[in-house]
Homo-oligomer: A and B are copies of this chain.
Amino acid sequence: MDILCRCVSSALFLSFGMRRDVNVHLLLLGEPDPGKIIRFEGLHLRYLNPDERSSGSLIQKALKKDATEQDIRSTPGVWIRRGDLGFLLSKFEGRTLFYLREDGEDIRAIANEIRDPVFFLGDHIGVTEEEEKQLLKAGAKIISVGPLSLHSNHCITLVHNELDRAEAQRGELPGEIERRIEN
């Protein structure tokens, strides 16, 4: 759970303010009640600070809701529902999917061409073979952010930096392009 909290923070925080054009989807597949998706919407988020306790508390609040096949709002900008990877992939149909794996193509080589992306990151246990198959079948491109194996929250920081730099080069900062980090 700690790693999820840090991912939420890395995906959403700037030094002064929040990345309002970013959404985070936490796909929770662990016991005791697998198959839940918590969504953080940068645009509507409130009550989130950069520390782990803060995102942890919003996640816990969401998990107390009775999750169904419909989105239920937990706190402003935080939603929970039942769902799995297949559901997420169908939701993101038509967008550019990336799957972060250490042996992927260097994001730096393609950052300038990335538009309307969704990034998939595994937790510390990684992504199962079956999930990987699903991702690749849906057209996800395998990319990496550097030569070493890093925690997911650090990878998110690096992905943002590549896209920030690409947007700045195109004169598109701050955040005119919708961008979403999904986990």
Question: A37-54, CB under 8 A of B: which get 1 and which 0?
Answer: 000000000000011110
- Interface residue A32 (Cβ < 8 Å from any Cβ of B): no
Known A2-B51, A154-B10; contact A124-B15, beta-carbon cutoff 8 A: yes
Known A51-B2, A158-B158; contact A15-B151, beta-carbon cutoff 8 A: yes
Stretch at the interface among A77-85, A112-120, A133-141, A161-169: A161-169
Give complex CA distance A50, B174 in Å: 31
Stretch at the interface among A58-66, A67-75, A88-96, A142-150: A142-150
Give complex CA distance A124, B151 in Å: 23
Nearest B residue to A53, CB-CB: B52
- Let me know if B157 and A154 touch, CB within 8 A: yes
Within the complex, what minimum Cβ distance (angstroms) separates A151 from chain B? 5
Give complex CA distance A161, B145 in Å: 8
Instruction: Count residues on chain A whose CB falls below 8 Å from chain B CBs.
Output: 30
- Let me know if B50 and A151 touch, CB within 8 A: yes
Question: A1-24, CB under 8 A of B: which get 1 and which 0?
Answer: 011001000100111100000000
Nearest B residue to A158, CB-CB: B161
Q: Inside 8 A of A149's CB, which chain B residues have their CB?
A: 14-16
- Let me know if B148 and A173 touch, CB within 8 A: yes
Nearest B residue to A124, CB-CB: B15
* Between-chain CB contacts (< 8 Å), 12 pairs: A2-B51, A3-B50, A15-B149, A15-B151, A51-B52, A145-B161, A146-B161, A146-B164, A147-B168, A147-B173, A150-B157, A158-B158
